[in-house]
Amino acid sequence: MANRITIEVTRYDPAQDEKPRFDSFEVPLRKEWVVLDALNYIKDHLDGSLTFRWSCRMGVCGSCGMTVNGVPKLTCATFLSDYAPGPVRVEPMKNFPVLKDLVVDTSDFLVKLEKSKPWIIRKVEKPLDEEYFQTPEQLEAYKQYSMCINCMLCYAACPVYGLDPLFIGPAAIALAQRYNMDSRDEGASERMDILSQHDGIWGCTFVGECTQVCPKHVDPAGAIQQYKLTATMEWVKALVLPRGSE
Amino acid sequence: MLDISSHDIVLVGGGGAGLRAAIAISEANPKLSVAVVSKVYPMRSHTVAAEGGAAGVHLEDDSLDDHAYDTISGGDWLCDQDAVEAFVKEAPQELMRLEHWGCPWSREPDGRVAVRPFGGMKKTRTWFAADKTGFHMLHTLFQTSLKYDAVVRYDEFYATRLLVDDGRAQGVVALELTTGKVQAITAKAVILCTGGCGKIFRFTTNASIKTGDGMALAYRAGAPLKDMEFVQYHPTGLPFTGILITEAARAEGGYLLNKDGYRYLQDYNLGTPEPKPVLRTMELGPRDRLSQAFVKEQEKGRTVEGPYGAVVNLDLRHLGEKTINTKLPFVRELCLKYENIDPITQLIPVRPVVHYMMGGVHTDINGATPLAGLYAAGETACVSINGANRLGSNSLSELLVFGARAGRAAADYASGQKAPGRALLAQALDEEARLQTQFLRKTGGRESIAELREEMQKIMEQCAGIYRTHESLAGASGKLQELQERFKDIRMDDRGHLFNTELISALELSCMLEVAETMAESALRRTESRGAHQRTDYPARDDKNFLAHSLAYRDAEGRPRVEYAPVTITRWPPAERVYGK
Amino acid sequence: MINPTEYLPKSYHPRVSTYWWLTRWVYLKFILREASSVFVAWTVILTLLQIRALAAGPARYAEFQDWLRSPLLLVLNAVSLFFVVFHAVTWFNLAPKAMVVRVGGRRLPNLAISAPNFAAWAVLSAAIAWILMRG
């Protein structure tokens, strides 16, 4: 293994640049280094102005999503040596406005997340000394969707979101589905009103890339398709039983 | 450029404690406007990385007194027992509240919340969501907080200073990362929930954001930092990365082996090895004892030499694939990803790693600090329920219990206060000018931020690690002062306003340097060994002189001045800590 | 003096290229799958035309069959066959995503959902082939 590798990094200073450009840096190539370690090496030793987000370095906080050689990745879970001999190209996540270098503006997601009501909705709440029983099977029904770390890789991979920023997007729908499938929740119909709109689930054309790039195996594509099935069944039910359904 | 906004209460930090406090305020009084100022989006907060679980009495055979005793003895009698009693009483309610909010707790086949054993606990009482408990708790809290309209988020705002006027905390000055604008956020009360400061050490499980910001804010505003000498080393971190391998791995039955495959903990007063885990015994001993045993084992030459220093092995192989996949899936994922090791068939190399600060901003049982209007909760605060050594799984419950308490107390206090005064504006302008002259418009500068940070981390690791001496600590104090001087001459590559992460790194470093000084100074003054603070020159516990909390105040020269305050003892007089029996 | 424009939040909004679907093989595959619906539609239209010709009597049907033999139609139908098969295969492979079947609390593996689809397809095709070949 060569002991150095070239990294090409997107640079964009909103105060000066009209559009992004690339800078090249040579960094040590170490077996245990992830792409994020290389970026930190650059910031600490070569250019302190290189700008990116990171925090936990163990793939759970969801801060360090970027595009590595064209593919959306968590840079703390992507090994540099997998790209030897290089060069490695690190760009900001696609489909989001770029704020500076590798930092993108993901605030849009938080608006959409809130819209999809990701909390337990109940008509009547149990008192605090009682628990809602939930069997391991019932837990299993939504557990996968609860693993979303909001890293935004699925939005970066979704061409629908790229073309139509109004699309509510994979993670927000998966998290809505996480609560719909939770045996403690009674808010599915409230969420359906929001998610069955044009920019909701029906915006999805099932590219499936969101599921492919998800570092936590959440499978948002599956969530959306299942939701489509539920929405259709509800629609049919309403058609057949105009007054009978609740 | 200065922007001004006003709220009833401003929270600094959007992790578990901060979000719990925000919800508590809204529940107490929905009319109060709450600002959550966080340097990262709340779901990035470090609560996300907690793995093993959250303690709270749950089973029939358990009792609040048992939990209290485990916590107090685990803390080597430095805990305030009134606080511990409140904590153990409210922990189960808080955990149940989280159950109602949708936290995906792991379950028994009949649907009841499941609990697991944990280190230093005599009964099984740790609630868990597989081995991603903190992650699920944080996301549950964050998602639940979205439904409260009175909670206003200031995401990616870095608080640089507390606004204090008339002897009361009345807001913060914060830097908006995206624009570089300085924002004065005034309020009738301030709650600090910024977490710990593990990044003061080189080898830590803590995320890059854990830089003691809240501790430094309080300290600079005149509030004391309590028990800062007590730094928890978690016995099982992966070498190089410092990634945490949860204590749950041992609670499920994992063994710690030295280079001969021998369960060495039996040589350190932790009981005799049994094939199945026994509570408060061997691998389920408290973290301070286990980390200390590692050092002794290393001195005997019985650890394994790895490329990143000595390690011992954590053996999970006998647990089988099913247990590992259902109870410890994240442990397996982390080992496969970062060590290329499959714990089903291979041993995991581990070594002690800085994990948690028992110390923090001095608060009473309601999260109130001695500075009126200033509250703190979570790892930032020191109530103290953790004493000289925190038990695993007490911190997640702590951030709920004391986050909620601080939120309620602050809501109560804020309701009786007038709107903040005009004098704060001058302070905010001062702070803005300081950021400009000290950093952005500063010319020259030779010192590299990264280099100073690395030197500080090296000093702290060498001098204030698991075992300490007078010489090492006095040396650390001196060297940290030198670093403070050198910090004045730092070099900035990025002088722009927009998303200047280098400026944030500089500000974080200045916080860490101050907090590190309080650690070294408090450790130097405490001439005894207790819990996580082990002095080789004073190996015994000294209840006569040191059954007391240290309080580090910042003096006029910016140096820590250490005073002592009594420990509250209610029902459990100091005794010997006994494990393995 | 502070220049307020220094603090204006600015960002670069990258435009999605018209040829975004050529940038990665997965996207191209997706576009091909979407495009295949045109050929599926063509197959349906062709079948309807065939039925209409059949109803119009033997002479018209013979004419129709002649038309089918033209090189243009042969090429078009060969391409259509490819796309219809592509459509069917990708469709059945995606079926497990939309349908989650749980047996005894455990989710059935993807293959268990897609395999019956493929099997049904094979059986139906064989039955039709048998009917046609017999004549």
Residues B32, B187: contact at Cβ < 8 Å?
no
The average confidence (pLDDT) of chain A is 93
Residues A8 and A75 in one domain: yes
pLDDT greater than 60 at residue A137? yes
Would residue A162 count as lying in a domain?
Answer: yes
Question: What's the pLDDT band for B2 if we cut at 50, 70, 90?
Answer: confident
Edge-first strand order for the sheet with B115-116 is B54-55, B126-127, B115-116
Let me know whether A139 and A74 are in one domain: no
Round the CA-based radius of gyration of chain C to a whole number and report it.
25
**A136 and A234 share a domain?**
yes
pLDDT at A242: 67
Residue A246 lies in a domain: no
Query: CATH number, domain at A188?
Result: 1.10.1060.10
Residues on chain B touching C105 (C-beta within 8 angstroms): none
Single-letter amino acid code for the residue at A172: A
What one-character-per-residue DSSP string does B135-193 give? Answer: HHHHHHHHHHHTT-TTEEEEETEEEEEEEEETTEEEEEEEEETTT--EEEEE-SEEEE-
In this structure, the answer to whether residues A49 and A115 fall within a common structural domain is no
Give mean pLDDT, residues B169-180: 96
The domain boundary residue, chosen from A77, A104, A131? A104
Q: What is the mean pLDDT of residues A89-95?
A: 97
Note whether B62 and B123 are within 8 A (CB): yes
Q: Measured between alpha carbons, how far is B201 from C89 in angstroms, rounded to an integer?
A: 55
Identify whether A83 is part of a domain.
yes
Please tell me the predicted confidence (pLDDT) of residue B420. Answer: 85
Q: How far is CA B295 from CA B64, B180, B460, in A?
A: 34, 46, 17
In sequence order, which residues have a C-beta less than 8 Å from that of residue B410 and are 6 or more positions away?
A: B9, B21, B25, B189, B190, B191, B367, B375
Question: Residue C10: is its pLDDT beyond 90?
Answer: no
Residue C3 has pLDDT above 60, yes or no: no
Domain hosting A71: range is 4-104
A133 and A229 in a single domain? The answer is: yes
For residues A67 and A112, membership in a common domain is answered with: no
Q: What's residue A245's pLDDT?
A: 46
> Residues A116, A234: one domain?
yes
Same domain membership, residue A29 and residue A88: yes
- Residue B514 makes CB contacts below 8 A (sequence gap 6+) with B212, B216, B219, B220, B484, B554, B558
**Are the C-beta atoms of residues B74 and B387 closer than 8 Å to each other?**
yes
Which residues of chain B make contact with C8, given a CB cutoff of 8 A? 179
Query: Of all residues in chain B, what percent carry a pLDDT higher than 70?
Result: 100
Predicted local distance difference test score (pLDDT) of residue B413: 97
Neighbours of B465 (CB within 10 A): 18
Q: Are residues A26 and A63 in the same domain?
A: yes
How confident is the model at residue B439, as a pLDDT? 93
pLDDT score of C4 more than 70: no
Residue A246's pLDDT is what? Answer: 45
Task: Work out the pLDDT band at C111, boundaries 50, 70, 90.
Answer: confident
pLDDT at A208: 87
Q: Which of B99, B136, B146 sits opposite A118 (nearest CB)?
A: B146
Whether residue A183 is found in the same domain as residue A83: no
* Predicted confidence (pLDDT) per residue in B64-95, tens digit: 999 999 999 999 999 999 999 999 999 999 99
Taking the C-alpha atoms of residue B217 and residue B191, their distance in angstroms, rounded to an integer, is: 11
State how far residue A22 is from chain B, nearest Cα, in angstroms: 17
Pick the range with the lowest mean pLDDT from B362-371, B493-502, C95-104: C95-104
Annotated domain spans of chain C? 19-98, 101-135
**With contacts defined as CB-CB under 8 Å, which chain B residues touch C6?**
1, 180, 497
Per-residue confidence (pLDDT) for residue B422, from 0 to 100: 81
> What CATH code is carried by the domain that includes residue A47?
3.10.20.30
Most C CBs within 10 Å, among A225, A226, A227, to test the C interface: A225
A130 with A162, same domain: the answer is yes
A94 with A213, same domain? no
Alpha carbon B492 to chain centroid, angstroms: 30
Q: Which residues contact B477 (CB under 8 A, 6 or more apart)?
A: B517, B520, B521, B524
Q: Could you say which architecture CATH assigns to the domain C19-98? A: Up-down Bundle (1.20)
B497 to chain A: which residues are within 8 Å by CB? Answer: 15
B371 compared with A193, residue with greater pLDDT: B371
Q: Are strands B9-12 and B34-38 parallel, antiparallel or unpaired?
A: parallel
A81 part of contact set with chain B, CB < 8 Å:
no
Q: What is the DSSP string of A190-215?
A: HHHHHHTSTTTGGG-----HHHHH-T
User: Percentage of residues in chain A with pLDDT exceeding 90?
Assistant: 82
Contact C9 B178 (CB under 8 A): yes
Whether A119 and B101 lie within 8 Å, measured CB to CB: yes
Choice among B51-60, B211-220, B437-446, B517-526 with the minimum mean pLDDT: B437-446
Q: How sure is the predictor about C134, in pLDDT bands with cuts at 50, 70 and 90?
A: confident
Catalytic residues of B: 234, 250
Reported as a pLDDT band with limits 50, 70 and 90, residue C105 is low
Determine the Cα angle at B43 with ends B41 and B46, to 5°. Answer: 100
* ipTM confidence score: 0.96
pLDDT in tens, A49-59: 999 999 999 99
Do the chains contact at C30 and A159, CB–CB below 8 Å? Answer: yes
pLDDT in tens, A182-239: 999 999 999 998 898 888 999 998 888 999 999 999 999 999 988 998 888 888 988 8
Region of residue A221 (phi > 0: left; psi between -120 and 50: alpha; otherwise: beta): alpha
Whether A245 is covered by a domain: the verdict is: no
Number of domains in chain A: 2
The reply to whether A236 falls in a domain is: yes
pLDDT of C24 higher than 90: no
| pLDDT > 70? residue C135 | no
The C-alpha atoms of residue B368 and residue B131 are separated, in whole angstroms, by 32
Distance (Å, whole) CA B338 – CA C95: 34
Q: How far is CA B436 from CA B175, B423, B430, B440, B557, in A?
A: 12, 21, 10, 5, 23
- Where is average pLDDT lowest: A146-155, B556-565, C58-67? C58-67
pTM value is 0.95
Distance CA(B459)–CA(B469), nearest Å, equals 13
